[in-house]
Amino acid sequence: MGKLAWLTDPHFDMLNTEQLRELVETWSTRTVDGLLITGDIADGENLLPVLTLLDEKLPYPIWFILGNHDYYGTSIQLQREAVRQWCDSTRDTTWLANASYIGLSKNTALLGHGGWADGGYGDFHGSEIGLNDYRLISDLTGHDKVELARRLSDLGRDAAETIERQLTGAFQSHSHIILATHVPPFIESCWYQGQATVNEWTPHFSCKAVGDCLRDLAKSYPEHSIHVYCGHTHSSGVAQIEPNLRVTTGGATYGQPALQPEILFK
């Protein structure tokens, strides 16, 4: 049985360097096949310094995707290019959105993309919620709601296209997929304060484009199974979407990064 340590929404920029080093030291003694991080690792400025420290100190591979906070203070394109270049210089840390898929065992493959809260579920135009994303990520600032909705929708579609490509490739050789994304892809997986129902936050907490793609693929490949791991809402829960499609959303508390229960695979 293989084992992955799983971390979501650690927001490491809220810790000082000493606190971060201490935590990483504790985690470094784990016996696991690797660490999966499902986004909101830090903010734009601190992302690469944090990843560098993790890469240096942890003795196992790291697979990660980016969350919305990882772009704060910069632009999506600039940050993605910086992360791509940084990954070229590391040996054992992989940005899943930049890879096809990782074979973890004969049966199981790992793949992923951060996704984006695309406004597809709930009432985006009626919601009064103004995420910091719309102030702190340059691609999303200064637009009216119609243009903002268009940009969010494009980001969701781009994520779905990447995931569809990765999944159809991985399905040729692996029957079980561990799929990492940041934003919950279904209303049923969009946990908030212990519930997964539509509310004002839903359009900003879910990615319908990825959800639609996953549901279609799960139905087209009934002999395969997909287990999605995500975060973003900081509230935990499990949702069975199809017989072969399950989503686990991890909880988080700002300033107190903690590992989730380990992910087991055959």
Return the closest-CA partner of residue 133 out of 199, 67, 189. Answer: 67
Q: Which of 13, 33, 40, 188 binds Fe ion (CB under 5 A)?
A: 40
Q: Are 180 and 38 in contact (CB under 8 A)?
A: yes
Burial of 243 (0-12, 13-18, 19+ CB in 10 A): exposed
Among the listed ranges 8-16, 143-151, 156-164, 197-205, the one in contact with Fe ion (CB under 5 A) is 8-16
Q: Which of 9, 13, 43, 133 binds Fe ion (CB under 5 A)?
A: 9
Among the listed ranges 27-35, 36-44, 82-90, 163-171, the one in contact with Fe ion (CB under 5 A) is 36-44
- Nearer Cβ to Fe ion (40/43): 40
Residue type, 139: D
- Nearer Cβ to Fe ion (109/179): 179
Burial of 56 (0-12, 13-18, 19+ CB in 10 A): exposed
- Does 68 interact with Fe ion (rule: CB under 5 A)? yes
- Nearer Cβ to Fe ion (122/176): 122
- Does 206 interact with Fe ion (rule: CB under 5 A)? no
Identify residues 222-251 at the interface with Fe ion (CB under 5 A). Answer: 232
- Kindly state the number of chain residues that form the binding site for Fe ion, as judged by CB under 5 A: 5
Return the closest-CA partner of residue 71 out of 132, 151, 161, 147. Answer: 132
Query: Residue 88 CB, nearest distance to Fe ion (Å)?
Result: 26
- Nearer Cβ to Fe ion (89/194): 194
User: Any idea which residue has 């279609």 for tokens?
Assistant: 216
Q: Which of 10, 34, 61, 67 binds Fe ion (CB under 5 A)?
A: 67
DSSP state of 139: G
Distance separating alpha carbons of residues 79 and 87, to the nearest angstrom: 12
CB atoms inside a 10 Å sphere around CB 196: 23
Query: Residue 251 CB, nearest distance to Fe ion (Å)?
Result: 10
Q: Which residue ranges make up the site for Fe ion (CB under 5 A)?
A: 9, 40, 67-68, 232
